[in-house]
Amino acid sequence: MPRPAWWRRAAYALKSLGGPLAAGALAALGFPPLHLLPVLPIAFFILMRSVDRAPTMKQAAAVGFAFGLGLHTVGLYWLINAVLIRASDFWWFVPFPSIGCGLILAPFAAVPAAFCRLAPAGWRRGVLFAGLWTLCDMGRLFLFSGFTWNPLGSDWAFHGLAGDILIQPVAWIGVDGLTLLTVLLAVLLPLGRRFVLPCLAVLVVWIAAGTARFYGVAHDGARTGSVQQPVVVLVQGNVAEKEKISRTDIQTVFDRYLRLTQRGVADGLTLAAKVPGAAPPVVYVWPETAYPGVLEEDGLTRTMIAHTAEGATEGIIGTLGVGPDGHWRNSVVAIDGGGRFLGRYDKARLVPFGEYQPPFLPLQIVPGGGMTPGPGSMSWHLPGLAAVGPLICYEVIFSGHVVDRHDRPDWLVNVTNDAWYGNSAGPRQHLAAVRLRAVEEGLPIARAANTGVTIVYDARGHDMGRLGWGVEGTLVRTMPPPLPAPLFARYGQAIPAVLCLLSVVVALTRRRRLS
């Protein structure tokens, strides 16, 4: 008996799309923390071969969709951990976060796979694909509140000196420019011997330029006229997410933060006293929502915190806020040495499905109806302190959108709580984004994380000290100086966008033969 048409179509789809789906999953192994870069040429070879063999543009789009589904489902596997924390309420939702995000993000791979067929097969098609892939990747900025997680350029952010050198080009072209370069190498390397040497030459130039910049800027001083950088005391409370959600022992957690702050500030004052000349200010930082109430409205608690941190100039504390509309906001507040309120910053980029719910979702899954966003990037000019740009958690992933371009700060502070995602790839991928923003902006960044990783990066993305995952403690460091604004900090994403458009033009321009 002949099989029905739907069966034949399903079998064909499985046969033609299974390879690209597996190739996308393979490519996800290049993301932090594995950084298995050799898998990328293999994965993209399978993808481009499938695109070439697809009989129509529509089927090429399906091939790209399958690749994107595999890439993002595996790359975001750790999202399941956030649901498992509340598994008793949302057990039915466990399979959906990773697969759902993969389905939402897969079209961003389908578009370049379809339209790269406008160029003839070979290097032109590969160059067109790389340009379109990167443009679509940049387009994720406009998905819901934005979801630019895991650009392929972040694959190069190895821990240690190798990563320090390899990520330096983002100071000129941003992580999206690095994504363009990564995809170009991945699609051109498998095309044959004549492309191997040029690709290796690009890598050599890349390493040479990264080395020259890394060691060259190491000798640059602080920006002319900048205020003395502070000593930061980063507090890592290591509070389990179930403990935060249940709120059963708030006093114990609060006492833990006070104890750690008192000890850390004492260490900070000792370090500040060793600095030649005038002692720098000491600033302590608590992670995202470390204080579970509205600290701005709680003068008694602010006074208690400031008394515990006696000697510190200011404190920057993750808390909750209430906007003019009466809705909750994810905030950080600054207080002075007497506990007086100095200012509040509200998170502007909210996590879709976590902090706010897109209107198309029929079921309410975000607790409390979600939050409302703040107005956007800003610089705090606190008394006696170098200008600081506050960032809350997820906001740090947005290349080119982390500082106020009209009021450039001297350093950045990022407070976060990655406890939702457990000891998985998620917090490491987030950490890679923090490091890349430091290089792109030429600004040192201090990151206080609830369960880790708490860290200080200098303006070259070099690790100045860290507290690992699951550790309770404080990290005390003098903030390194900022660098003059690099090329990317001045022109932002216009640079990788122009490079992508040039790739498209090169791929679609055919040389005329002389008669």
Q: What is the pLDDT of residues 178-191, one digit of tens each?
A: 999 999 999 999 99
pLDDT of 515 > 50? The answer is no
The crossing angle, in degrees rounded to 10, of helices 107-115 and 96-105 is 30
One domain, residues 94 and 192: yes
Q: Domain holding 380: CATH number?
A: 3.60.110.10
Which residue in 7, 122, 140 sits closest to 71, CA to CA?
140
Tell me the two tokens of residue 396: 């740090």
pLDDT of 246 > 90? The answer is no
SS3 state at 333: strand
User: Residue 67: which pLDDT band, with cuts at 50, 70 and 90?
Assistant: very high
Q: Is residue 418 part of a domain?
A: yes
Cα(379)–Cα(361) distance, rounded to whole angstroms? Answer: 35
More confident residue, 12 or 341: 341
pTM of the entire structure?
Answer: 0.93
Domain extent at residue 75: 5-218+493-508
pLDDT of 226 > 70? The answer is no
More confident residue, 335 or 368: 335
Q: Which pLDDT score, from 0 to 100, does residue 250 have? A: 87
Q: Which pLDDT score, from 0 to 100, does residue 514 have? A: 42
Consecutive H or E run containing 378:
none
Tell me how many domains the chain contains: 2
Q: Which pLDDT score, from 0 to 100, does residue 352 have? A: 82
Q: Which pLDDT score, from 0 to 100, does residue 362 have? A: 57
Contact in structure between 417 and 240 (CB atoms under 8 Å): no
Q: Which pLDDT score, from 0 to 100, does residue 82 have? A: 80
User: Residue 2: which pLDDT band, with cuts at 50, 70 and 90?
Assistant: low
The 3-class secondary structure across 440-458, one letter per residue, is HHCCCEEEEECCCCEEEEC
Comparing 22-26, 364-368, 378-382, the range with the smallest average pLDDT is 364-368
pLDDT of 343 > 50? The answer is yes
Q: Which pLDDT score, from 0 to 100, does residue 4 have? A: 65
One domain, residues 435 and 324: yes
Q: Is residue 90 part of a domain?
A: yes
More confident residue, 47 or 192: 47
pLDDT of 513 > 60? The answer is no
One domain, residues 10 and 125: yes
Q: Is residue 406 part of a domain?
A: yes
| Mean of pLDDT values over 210-224 | 73
Q: Is residue 361 part of a domain?
A: yes
What torsion, rounded to 10 degrees, do the Cα atoms 468, 354, 444, 238 define?
A: -30
Q: Could you read off the pLDDT of 450-500 as tens digits, one per residue?
A: 999 999 999 999 999 999 999 999 999 999 999 999 999 999 999 999 999
One domain, residues 97 and 209: yes
Consecutive H or E run containing 382:
none
Q: Could you read off the pLDDT of 391-435 as tens digits, one per residue?
A: 999 999 999 999 999 999 999 999 999 998 999 999 999 999 999
Q: Which pLDDT score, from 0 to 100, does residue 326 have? A: 84
| Mean of pLDDT values over 361-377 | 75
Comparing 295-309, 350-364, 439-453, the range with the smallest average pLDDT is 350-364
One domain, residues 389 and 504: no
| Mean of pLDDT values over 438-443 | 98
One domain, residues 174 and 263: no
Q: Could you read off the pLDDT of 279-312 as tens digits, one per residue?
A: 999 999 999 999 999 999 999 999 999 999 999 9
Q: Is residue 254 part of a domain?
A: yes
Q: What is the CA angle 145-150-156, rounded to 5?
A: 145
Q: Which pLDDT score, from 0 to 100, does residue 12 have? A: 55
Q: Which pLDDT score, from 0 to 100, does residue 277 have? A: 85
User: Residue 224: which pLDDT band, with cuts at 50, 70 and 90?
Assistant: very low
User: Residue 389: which pLDDT band, with cuts at 50, 70 and 90?
Assistant: very high
One domain, residues 238 and 111: no
One domain, residues 246 and 378: yes
Which residue in 230, 184, 146 sits closest to 433, CA to CA?
146
One domain, residues 426 and 353: yes
Catalytic annotation present for 393: yes
Q: Which of 101, 116, 393, 500 is catalytic?
A: 393
One domain, residues 363 and 469: yes
Q: Which of 101, 136, 241, 288 is catalytic?
A: 288
User: If you write DSSP's letter for every residue of 111-140 in order, what string do you get?
Assistant: HHHHHGGGSPTTHHHHHHHHHHHHHHHHHG
Q: What are phi and psi for residue 221, nearest 5 degrees?
A: -85, -175
Q: Which pLDDT score, from 0 to 100, does residue 1 have? A: 53
Q: Is residue 225 part of a domain?
A: no
More confident residue, 369 or 270: 270
**Share above pLDDT 70 across residues of the chain, in percent, rounded to a whole number:** 90
Q: Is residue 226 part of a domain?
A: no
Q: Could you read off the pLDDT of 98-154 as tens digits, one per residue?
A: 999 999 999 999 999 999 999 999 999 999 999 999 999 999 998 888 899 999 999
Q: Is residue 19 part of a domain?
A: yes
Q: Which pLDDT score, from 0 to 100, does residue 361 have? A: 63
The crossing angle, in degrees rounded to 10, of helices 425-441 and 170-188 is 130
Q: Which pLDDT score, from 0 to 100, does residue 503 have? A: 97
Q: Which of 347, 355, 441, 500 is catalytic?
A: 347
Q: Which pLDDT score, from 0 to 100, does residue 228 have? A: 85
One domain, residues 317 and 263: yes
pLDDT of 207 > 60? The answer is yes
One domain, residues 380 and 340: yes
pLDDT of 81 > 90? The answer is no
